[in-house]
Structure 1
Amino acid sequence: MFKLSKEYIADLLLLSVTIFWGSTFIIVKESINMMPTFAFLSIRFWIASILLILMFSYKLKHLNRELIRDGVILGIVLFLAYAFQTVALEYEKASIVGFLTGLNVIFTPILSAFLLKKVPSVFSQVGALLAFVGMGMMSFKGGLSLSKGDLLTIICAIFVAIQIVLTDRYSRKHDTYLLTVVEITILAILSTLVNLASEPYLFPKKWNMYLIGSFLITAIFATVYAFVIQNTAQKYTTPTKTAIIFVMEPVFAAIFGYLLGGEVLSLRAYIGAVIMFAGLFMAEVGPALVKR
């Protein structure tokens, strides 16, 4: 009987995370048209933080100084990634922001090699290259100039890569559930501080069902589920493979951008999506074929 290894199960779970993240690009873009950016992030992450604390309250007694320190570092890096990405959505299409965030697939192997001394396999390197080429086809608009939204998203991609590499290091020595609690709580605190310093109010002036649904979807699925899975699954896979899997996020961002926001892409962009899937296939299936 065919049995999936822990690594493949971890990779499948990480892929499920990209579906939720991809679906939230258009949701967040619509939501920040209704209220200030950091006010939205504050509410989203406080809901997620409270849920995590309630879920893992029985573990809180095991918190220690080292775990809190590493969780704070992860939270700060992740906050910077979200901040740059969410502000970028004010200037660029959700699908394009999703594509450029995928640049972390190039930054992650480099950081992994230098910081973790982990050189990716040949299949992962080829997969990352294919993912990068496909992403370029999806996002390239015919000129070499970058918009403000593009630049903000590239900075976001760098912080995403740093977060992936640090998660690989910290998840192997700490309780991943507690690590997630600290990480998301720091996200909530920083979002609130920035909001109070730069925006006039925290809660939306007018509540509606779209905003309520947006908070619940982004908090429960795109935050609680996503980061519990990421912090746990990365114990069993590599940073480079994680980055290659996460590059599927822009593909799902394009799908949901079309379904929910009517954003239509070019034929070249769809070909790029196929190449990105080929890169993921290479990274996942290549090592198994060689073993056989």
Structure 2
Amino acid sequence: MTRFQANFLLTVVALIWGSAFVAQSTAMAHVGPMTFTGARFLIGALIIAPFAWREWRFLRARQLAPNRGDAAQIAGLGALLWLGAAMQQIGIIGTTVTNAGFLTALYVPLVPLLAWWWLGRQPHASVWPASIGCLVGTWMLSGAGQVQLQTGDLWVIASALPWAVHVLFVGRVADRMAAPFLVACGQFLVCGGVSAAWAGAAEPLAAGALWAAARDIAYTGIVSVGIGFTAQVIGQRNTAAADAAIILSSETVFAALFGYLLMGDRLTSAGWAGCTLILACILAVQLLPMWRERGRAAA
């Protein structure tokens, strides 16, 4: 897979995640955040389990089956996934879909900073202005300064750190193991299992409530988790983490679009300008490094 194909795949992931914000919000009228998170990630694990099993057999036949260290890294990714997803889901109860999309995007500038500090990896110069541009664009999308932080907003802000660390390492682990489906399935099981255990201990659950949220759970479990998060693992094997963070931040644009189509949300002129700025930053972070590489090759 080329870098351009990987970035295109991650753009599709952002579209899927943007659409999932609507389902994540409406489901909270029926079930608790841990119940919802546990159900959708366990469904996602079930969806890709056959592919993960095939990878496991392939690696075992070549005496490359994951060891305890690999299992620990997958479990670590699952813990990061759980922290990000759980805090975001709790936050959605006390904030709007637009605010949640905007505040989740705070992980964008954290990824290149963490990559520089933690891995010593100098990002392409376009990443820095593009990161700032994405934050400015999401600020404009949220109402250009009219956001008032509530308890739910603080939960979503807190989720930015585990999201950033997850984006930074998920591609590295999957690429080293050459088993993206196995990595994805393992982290889904950890995230879903911890959430389900928490829900069983702390959240009341009635069959009628679960049935009322079934459509939202099924959509986010099959599409957002099973397809979206798995495609993220595959795509990030072939692109830089900082680039991936900026591309994935376009989920705020898609969240606004689906909010417009499905929930009657309407954007102001500042919101449309923010969408345009985010898309410009996404294109810049994809195209500028490619132009530089072609220029060097021509020289």
Normalization by structure 1: what TM-score?
0.92
Deviations 1:245-279 (A, max 9, x none): 01100110011111111122322122111111111
Q: Match for residue 13 of structure 1?
A: 9
Percent identity of the aligned residues? 26
In the alignment, does 2:184 pair up with 1:180?
yes
Structure 1 residue 143, shift from structure 2 partner: 5.5
Q: Is the Cα contact below 8 Å between 1:129 and 1:279 reproduced in 2?
A: no
Alignment CA distance shift 1:145-1:49 (3 Å): same
Q: How far apart in 2 are the matches of 1:242 and 1:202?
A: 39
Q: How far apart in 2 are the matches of 1:54 and 1:248?
A: 30
Structure 1 residue 172, shift from structure 2 partner: 2.5
Structure 1 residue 14, shift from structure 2 partner: 0.5
Alignment CA distance shift 1:85-1:115 (3 Å): same
Alignment CA distance shift 1:185-1:87 (3 Å): same
Alignment CA distance shift 1:158-1:239 (3 Å): same
Bigger shift: residues 224-233 or 238-247: 224-233
Q: Match for residue 54 of structure 1?
A: 50
Work out which of the residue numbers 230, 238, 244 in structure 2 matches 1:236.
238
Q: Is the Cα contact below 8 Å between 1:103 and 1:154 reproduced in 2?
A: yes
Alignment CA distance shift 1:239-1:31 (3 Å): same
SS in 2 for 1:172: helix
Residue type at the aligned position of 1:195: A
Q: Match for residue 194 of structure 1?
A: 198
Gaps of 5+ in 1: none
Residue type at the aligned position of 1:256: F
In the alignment, does 2:18 pair up with 1:36?
no
Q: Is the Cα contact below 8 Å between 2:109 and 2:128 reproduced in 1?
A: no
Q: Match for residue 141 of structure 2?
A: 138
Q: Is the Cα contact below 8 Å between 1:100 and 1:139 reproduced in 2?
A: no
SS in 2 for 1:33: coil
Residue type at the aligned position of 1:24: A
Q: Match for residue 95 of structure 1?
A: 98
Number of residue pairs aligned between Structure 1 and Structure 2: 286
SS in 2 for 1:121: coil
Q: Is the Cα contact below 8 Å between 1:11 and 1:242 reproduced in 2?
A: yes
Residue type at the aligned position of 2:127: S
Q: How far apart in 2 are the matches of 1:149 and 1:47?
A: 26
Q: Match for residue 85 of structure 1?
A: 88
Structure 1 residue 93, shift from structure 2 partner: 0.8
Q: Match for residue 62 of structure 2?
A: none
- C-alpha RMSD of the superposition: 1.8
Bigger shift: residues 281-290 or 103-112: 281-290
